[in-house]
C-alpha cells in the first residue's frame, strides 16, 4: 500500500508540475488584481466604501443570475445575515447536514436558533432529501401552519443545504419539502460559486443564499462573502444591517436597530472584481484537473473520484476521493500523501460529534458516519500555466 500511494503522490505532483510542497488549494492571481488594488491605494478608498464594492456586487449578481448580491466580510457573516433576514428566530430549529464545515452550525447559533442534523447522500455529500422527509414524518407535526418537532416542542423554521465541495444538492425535492411543510430554504453555497443545478446557478434557489470568498475558495477576495437573493426588500434590509444599521444622512450618526459591521472593504472587492473576470478559466482548469485525476484513479482499486451528479455542473472546488469502506485505510493514505509533500485532508468531523453541538437534535446519520472515514480531499488548485491573462 505504501509503495502504491507514494507513486500516486508522485503522479499528483506531476499533474500539477510541483517541485515543492503541494498545498490543497492556492489562490491564483495576475496583474489585474495588482492594478485594481493599486487603484484603491492611490485613491485612498480602501475601507467599506468605494466603487469596487458596488461593482463587485453588480458583477456577482450578474454572474450568479440573482437580482441582488450584498458583499460582506466572510461566508459565515453572509450565512448569519441570510438566516436573520429569512426570519429564523431564537429557539427555533434549522435542518442542516451533519457533514459540513462548522460555520454552517455556527451561523445558526448566531441567531440563537438550534441546528438539527440530517443525513447526507453519498452521491452529493449534501442533504439526502428522501431521508429528510422520512425524518420529518417521524418527528414532525403541523400546528397552526407551522412544523413542530414533537420531541422538543420547538418550531422547525428552515432548511440549510450545503453544496459540498462544489457539488450541487438535489434541490427540487428539497424545494418541494419546504413548500409542503412551510419551511424556508436558505442555501449555504459557500463552496459552490460557479456550480449549477439543472442549468441554474446554486445560491439562487432559496429565499436567500450565502457565498464565501476565503483564500482557499475557487476565487477569493482575501476574506469575504456575499448574500444572494431575488427579494429586493430583503436585499435592502441585509445591506442596511450589515452596515451597522446606520440611517443615511450627510453627517448624523443614527442607527435604527442593532446592526453588524460586516461590509466588505473596497480593497477586498477590488480583488474580487479581478477574480470574477477569471472565473471561466478557473472552471475550465478545474474540469481539466478532474479529467486528469479520473485517468489517474480509474486504475486504483478501492478508490473512487467523486464526480458531479447528473443534475448538476460542479465547480470541482475540492477534488474528492471516496475510499472503499472495507479498507479502513484513510489515515494511512493521509499519512503517506502528506509525508510525500502532497497535502491531503479528511472531511470534517460530523458536527453532532463536536462538543458545542453534541446535544442538538438529529436524524439517523448512518451515511454521514460511514463517509466520515472514507473521504479525502487532494490538491485542487487550478492547473498552473493554463492562464496567461
Question: CA-CA distance, 212 to 267, in Å (whole number)?
Answer: 16
Give the domains, in start order, of the chain with CATH numbers: 2-26+279-378 (3.90.1150.10), 31-276 (3.40.640.10)
Question: CA-CA distance, 363 to 290, in Å (whole number)?
Answer: 33
Of the candidates 149, 143, 7, 165, which has an alpha carbon nearest to the alpha carbon of residue 99?
165
Of the candidates 88, 107, 64, 59, which has an alpha carbon nearest to the alpha carbon of residue 205?
64
**Alpha carbon distance, N-terminus to C-terminus of the chain:** 42
DSSP state of 146: E
For 262-282, the DSSP string reads -BPPHHHHHHHHHHHTTHHHH
> What is the reported pTM?
0.95
The values of phi and psi at residue 271, to 5°, are: -60, -40
DSSP state of 101: -
Cβ pair 168, 316 in contact under 8 A: no
pLDDT in tens, the chain (389 residues): 899 999 999 999 999 998 899 999 999 999 999 999 999 999 998 987 889 999 999 999 999 999 999 999 999 999 999 999 999 999 999 999 999 999 999 999 999 999 999 999 999 999 999 999 999 999 999 999 999 999 999 999 999 999 999 999 999 999 999 999 999 999 999 999 999 999 999 999 999 999 999 999 999 999 999 999 999 999 999 999 999 999 999 999 999 999 999 999 999 999 999 999 999 999 999 999 999 999 999 989 999 999 999 999 999 999 999 999 876 799 999 999 999 999 999 999 999 999 999 999 999 999 999 999 999 999 999 986 544 44
CA atoms within 13 A on the CB side of 121: 22
Question: CA-CA distance, 329 to 325, in Å (whole number)?
Answer: 9
Amino acid at each position: 500500500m505504501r509503495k502504491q500511494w507514494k507513486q500516486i503522490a508522485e503522479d499528483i505532483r506531476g499533474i500539477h508540475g510541483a517541485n515543492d510542497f503541494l498545498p490543497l488549494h492556492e489562490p491564483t492571481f495576475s496583474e489585474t488584481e495588482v492594478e485594481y488594488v493599486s487603484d484603491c491605494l492611490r485613491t485612498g478608498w480602501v475601507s467599506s466604501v468605494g466603487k469596487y464594492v458596488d461593482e463587485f456586487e453588480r458583477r456577482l449578481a450578474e454572474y450568479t443570475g440573482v437580482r441582488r448580491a450584498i458583499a460582506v466580510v466572510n461566508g459565515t457573516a453572509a450565512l448569519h445575515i441570510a438566516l436573520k433576514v429569512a426570519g429564523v428566530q431564537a429557539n427555533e430549529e434549522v435542518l442542516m447536514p451533519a457533514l459540513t464545515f462548522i460555520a454552517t452550525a455556527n451561523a445558526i447559533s448566531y441567531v440563537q436558533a438550534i441546528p438539527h442534523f440530517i443525513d447526507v447522500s453519498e452521491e452529493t455529500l449534501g442533504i439526502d432529501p428522501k431521508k429528510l422527509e422520512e425524518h420529518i414524518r417521524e418527528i414532525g407535526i403541523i400546528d397552526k401552519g407551522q412544523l413542530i418537532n414533537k420531541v422538543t416542542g420547538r418550531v422547525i423554521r428552515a432548511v440549510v443545504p450545503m453544496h459540498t465541495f462544489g457539488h450541487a444538492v438535489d434541490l427540487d425535492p428539497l424545494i418541494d419539502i419546504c413548500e409542503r411543510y412551510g419551511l424556508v430554504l436558505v442555501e449555504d453555497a459557500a463552496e459552490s460559486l460557479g456550480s449549477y443545478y439543472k442549468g441554474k446557478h446554486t445560491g439562487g434557489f432559496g429565499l436567500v443564499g450565502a457565498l464565501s470568498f476565503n483564500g482557499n475558495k475557487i476565487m477569493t477576495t482575501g476574506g469575504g462573502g456575499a448574500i444572494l437573493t431575488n427579494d429586493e426588500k430583503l436585499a435592502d434590509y441585509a445591506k442596511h444591517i450589515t452596515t451597522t444599521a446606520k440611517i443615511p444622512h450627510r453627517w448624523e450618526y443614527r442607527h435604527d436597530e442593532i446592526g453588524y459591521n460586516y461590509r466588505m472593504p473596497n480593497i477586498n472587492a477590488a480583488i474580487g472584481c479581478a477574480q470574477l473576470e477569471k472565473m471561466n478559466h478557473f472552471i475550465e482548469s478545474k474540469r481539466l484537473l478532474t479529467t486528469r485525476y479520473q485517468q489517474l484513479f480509474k486504475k486504483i482499486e478501492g478508490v473512487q473520484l467523486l464526480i458531479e451528479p447528473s443534475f448538476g455542473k460542479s465547480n470541482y472546488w475540492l477534488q474528492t476521493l471516496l475510499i472503499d469502506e472495507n479498507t479502513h485505510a484513510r489515515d494511512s493514505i493521509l499519512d503517506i500523501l502528506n509525508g510525500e509533500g502532497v497535502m491531503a485532508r479528511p472531511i470534517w468531523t460530523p458536527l453532532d460529534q463536536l462538543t458545542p453541538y453534541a446535544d442538538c437534535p438529529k436524524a439517523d446519520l448512518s451515511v454521514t458516519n460511514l463517509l466520515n472515514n472514507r473521504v479525502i480531499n487532494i490538491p485542487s488548485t487550478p492547473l498552473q500555466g493554463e492562464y496567461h491573462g
